[in-house]
Amino acid sequence: MPYDITLIPGDGTGPEIVAATRRAIEATGIAIRWDVVDIGLPAMEKLGEPFPKASLDSVRKNRVALKGPLTTELGTGMRSVNVALRKEFDLYANLRPAKTYRGVNAPLGDLDLVVVRENIEDLYSGIEFDVGTKEAADIRDAIVKAGGARIREDAAIAIKYISDFGSRRIVKFAFDYARANKRRKVTAVHKSNIMKFADGLFLKVAGEVAKDYPEIEFEDRIVDNMCMQLVQKPDLYDVLVLPNLYGDIVSDLCAGLVGGLGVAPGANIGANGIAVFEAIHGSAPRYAGQNKVNPMALMLTGVLMLRHIGERAAGDALEAAITAVVAEGKDVTYDLKPKRDDPTAVGTKEFADAVIRRLKKQA
Ligand code: NAD
């Protein structure tokens, strides 16, 4: 029986890297019935709405989606179609492995970290009040009444919240991932020295959850110190679990440490078994239609997806093929060449061809 998986090509360079990744996944021999649907900008253009019901229903029904990047500026007043999608399916866990591959220029040498970012709460909940609005004034008054500091009238206000529920499930996700993937340590990252209640709660809950996983080491780091340590001694760390904002920033730092956005995969996983797999990078619109950008990050995302659906051997084979092509350094895109204007760089399609040739050789 083939797997039913929703395929969202995205926009900008999305359709090109999605097509390349689809071919590479299919070359592993796993039978997949793709349901190709649009959301975001392409859906706006074709159907006049960013979230067509049929597209969302497809994700809901298939429970697994592979997604290309989506440009966030829609002119609909919607903050981000990506954030909205995460909320729609309560995709609370953002998994971002950061691993070095031979042939990719990693500034600090070998690294193998996993960042687990909470995806729903914190400053990204979208609760904001603009300067000069009645709502902002009401909030300012309420804060003064509650004994808080007076906020200047010319301030915009964004609300950060962190719950016991949200913290518990993301930390549990990090430990479950560590256990399933034989990782040795989980580090909770926070700023509880300043945000004693919000980040303090995250840290307290993390410590409680850790007790259920005695075989996995647990420690915590303050986020600023964490950033410095990641640059100075990244090998001390293994799985990091962070609230939303720190997770966003630290995972890009980790992507930089393993060679940049072109090589960093990701997954958004929900409580109800729905998972949307997407690379960290955006739609890189200035390269759209040029058969230029690197599909490696989305292909590695495909590896995560294959493992998620239980096809671990196929995932391992695809990762091995990508690893071999990149280590050889011949059929790789411009960003993986020593000089970005290297005339021997191949395009998105040709990189996929090389990975597929390698998969066939391995079989
Ligand atoms: P971006 O990741 O699209 O591109 C930044 C730069 O990174 C590019 O100019 C390019 O040099 C490099 N890059 C990115 N992907 C690459 C690849 N596969 N191969 C080689 N080089 C690559 O970031 P941006 O320009 O800030 O964002 C463009 C749009 O994408 C924005 O609308 C943004 O909101 C959106 N975005 C979407 C997602 C998502 O869909 N999950 C994530 C991030 C950004």
What three-state secondary structure class fits 8? strand
Confidence of residue 76 (pLDDT cuts 50, 70, 90): low
CATH among 3.30.70.60, 3.30.930.10, 3.40.50.150, 3.40.718.10 for 1-95+263-363: 3.40.718.10
d(CA 287, CA 302): 22
Mean pLDDT calculated for residue range 253-275:
92
Mean pLDDT calculated for residue range 48-55:
91
Active site residue 124: yes
Active site residue 224: yes
pLDDT reading at 176 higher than 90: yes
Confidence of residue 104 (pLDDT cuts 50, 70, 90): very high
**Mean of pLDDT over the chain:** 94
Share of the chain above pLDDT 70, in %: 98
Domain ranges of the chain: 1-95+263-363, 107-121+162-257, 127-160
User: Measured in angstroms, how far is the CA atom of residue 53 from the centroid of ligand 1?
Assistant: 26
Topology agreement, domain 1-95+263-363 and domain 107-121+162-257: no
CA 215 → CA 182, 218, 235, distances in Å? 10, 9, 20
pLDDT in tens, 4-33: 999 999 999 999 999 999 999 999 999 999
* Domain 107-121+162-257 CATH assignment equals 3.30.2320: no
Mean pLDDT calculated for residue range 294-323:
97
Mean pLDDT calculated for residue range 300-309:
97
Q: Is the pTM of this model over 0.85?
A: yes
Share of the chain above pLDDT 90, in %: 86
Residue whose Cα lies nearest atom 24 of ligand 1: it is 282
d(CA 323, CA 13): 22
42 CB within 6 A, ligand 1: no
Active site residue 353: no
Confidence of residue 229 (pLDDT cuts 50, 70, 90): very high
> What pLDDT is attached to residue 272?
83
Mean pLDDT calculated for residue range 121-135:
93
Quickly count: other Cβ atoms within 10 Å of residue 247's Cβ. Answer: 24
The CA-to-CA distance between both ends of the chain, in Å, stands at: 21
Mean pLDDT calculated for residue range 318-343:
95
282 CB within 6 A, ligand 1: yes
Q: Which of 30, 34, 32 is nearest to 3 (CA)?
A: 32
d(CA 5, CA 340): 35
